[in-house]
Structure 1
């Protein structure tokens, strides 16, 4: 931490310890802190007379749950915040289901009332992409066609999946024939056939959205390659600009091909297995490797043109801050009076490459300070030095809430 802000100077000794010393020296004071300040969250839970100037954004996997199992003190942390009307939202790179389904599932697991207005998952910003809702989009990832259903609930009228294409044309990917019957159980007829000799009557893709971690990487990579090498997104065609040095990017993705959106950059995530597992970022890296092999890649002056959303990218944090401000306004309706500006958000996460990097990098247009807090219950492994330095390292989500509340000097009014 090169520059000491007033907040940093006010931190406990464990935060003032140089970060590159052993983590044991980092965490012993944090353990003492937990004992010294336990009463902070155990005082009477009388709702405050004013909404505080700070709030929280929590990652989910590795912070509140691990796979499908709630982490031990997640309920305790969130129930305290709700009792004190301290605003928080859930900000996750996960997805694959509609927000209402995820919220209902989490509410049940954590035994906490939650609302979709408090929830931002990786593909939630796709719901605002109205320019594609009357067009034909290709949606990839997730279990069966669940992500198609999410897209339709967002308002997209014509949604195609790789499974639809594979079921209609099994020869498009000869290596998944053994699960063709599985695909048939949830695929739908294509809105148009694939007719490369009649491009005006052929299936045309206007945008590609990767909503969630793909399951059948081989099929999805093949279909995505076909779309991005096509003429204007028309399946079965090949752009005559591909590989031509007279064009920008050597002609690749310069012939009206659809834009490509990834919702989640995470290479790894905390699943039930004791070691982190590959996520959507792994699929993207695999596709970019194939793309480079086909096109020559960066060494030949060719880049994969794409938009990557989710943490740590700025658009996701900007979207989340808007949601958090709206949630504070809703909470204030139950309190009344003038609502102060939101001064600080504590970004609590387990992944240094997404949660911590994103919290550290985000520059709020409202001047809100985003303070990153790293927990040890997910991707981050104790005894290692995070690639991106948080404001604080703590044991779990309850420790994170304790620490932040102490920093703010919060007491119920």
Structure 2
């Protein structure tokens, strides 16, 4: 059991604390491998977060996990961790997709038809709809309505029938103007049926205008940019999480969404002879996710410290301690992120997840500690609060 943090409030004389007791630092925590292994609480996690909560030290949970809506996940995590959490201090891998329903009509995907893949059953479809996307299709919908798209459809037919919805338009490649058209593809969470998802995504990337069953005549045309591949209004491709591995209750790391991405890339390369595959990848370590997370953290911090309105000014956030178990995502992202608000992000690598003790991390953290309790203690000591 990790040693506890002393049960006292931090000193107002600390370097990271203003005269009114307001901290100028905050924490960001990964979840899998830091706070939990699958559904099992890692020793010290609850105590560490409770200390921060009780002492009004801001923190957010920043995870490459997903597959459930934020409102559902914070209820589950609050119960497991014994600390009240809200959507205001919780960022999942796909949370930044919310931004794609905003903006003007020319940029927003709100009213477009999107393909959402990954996760269990209809959960990711439901999340996308809760974010504001109005026309959401899944690979299962397509398979049930158009079974010839995948020759092994019988293998999972009962599962897909139970979760499928009618398509907004039928698949009719001979009449493209009236056929189903997909404007964007979102990999929200780790796909369960890699074969079906890969086939449908590849079909769309080879299509004309995102119409299933069509094949662009520009494909392979050496007179065009990228030898003609992705030059015919194919749908945009988004991934929410680049993690090749993640920590579960198995004793060795398991393949994550990044494995599916690598597999799809391999099929694309073999199909096109190595043409560029345009895609947008968010999640740690990508700067867009850290930028989004810092904006969420600053907003949460302002509310937590009572800075709403004109009556109380919140001092600037100077430092964020990113606590993670994965050098490729948590540590790399924190090391490379350049805050537009001037905050320094320091990376703390724990030994309770993906990282294997005794190996050299691919990306060197600021410090390596045993677990999340030691990570919080180290951060507090750095700020002169212990």
Same fold (TM over 0.5): yes
TM-score by length of 2: 0.93
Give the Cα–Cα distance (whole angstroms) in 2 for the partners of residues 206 and 44 of structure 1.
53
Partner in structure 1 of residue 362 of structure 2: 387
Q: How does 1:124-139 map to 2 (within 5 A)?
A: 124-130=95-101, 131-139=108-116
Deviation string 1:65-102 (CA, Å, 9 cap, x unpaired) is 10011111110000000011000000000011100011
How far apart are 1:46 and its partner, in Å? Answer: 9.8
TM-score by length of 1: 0.87
Q: 1:308 to 1:80 in 2, by over 3 A?
A: same
> For 1:90, what is the secondary structure of its paired residue?
strand
Give the Cα–Cα distance (whole angstroms) in 2 for the partners of residues 187 and 269 of structure 1.
29
How far apart are 1:333 and its partner, in Å? Answer: 1.2
Deviation string 1:97-148 (CA, Å, 9 cap, x unpaired) is 1000111111111111000000000000101102001010000100011100
Aligned counterpart in structure 2 of residue 348 of structure 1, from 305, 310, 323: 323
> For 2:52, what is the secondary structure of its paired residue?
helix
Give the Cα–Cα distance (whole angstroms) in 2 for the partners of residues 384 and 304 of structure 1.
33
Q: How does 1:37-116 map to 2 (within 5 A)?
A: 41-44=6-9, 49-116=20-87
User: 1:41·1:80 contact (CA, 8 Å) conserved in 2?
Assistant: no
Tell me which protein shows more helix as a share of its residues.
1
Q: Extract unaligned runs of 5+ from structure 2.
A: 102-107
How far apart are 1:50 and its partner, in Å? Answer: 2.7
When the two chains are superposed, the root-mean-square deviation of aligned CA atoms in Å is 1.8
Q: Which moved more, 1:40-49 or 1:275-284?
A: 40-49
User: 2:64·2:243 contact (CA, 8 Å) conserved in 1?
Assistant: yes
> For 1:144, what is the secondary structure of its paired residue?
coil
Partner in structure 1 of residue 271 of structure 2: 294
Q: How does 1:137-148 map to 2 (within 5 A)?
A: 137-148=114-125
Give the Cα–Cα distance (whole angstroms) in 2 for the partners of residues 133 and 168 of structure 1.
24
Q: Does 1:318 align with 2:283?
A: no
Give the Cα–Cα distance (whole angstroms) in 2 for the partners of residues 184 and 313 of structure 1.
36
Q: Extract unaligned runs of 5+ from structure 1.
A: 1-30
User: 1:41·1:402 contact (CA, 8 Å) conserved in 2?
Assistant: no
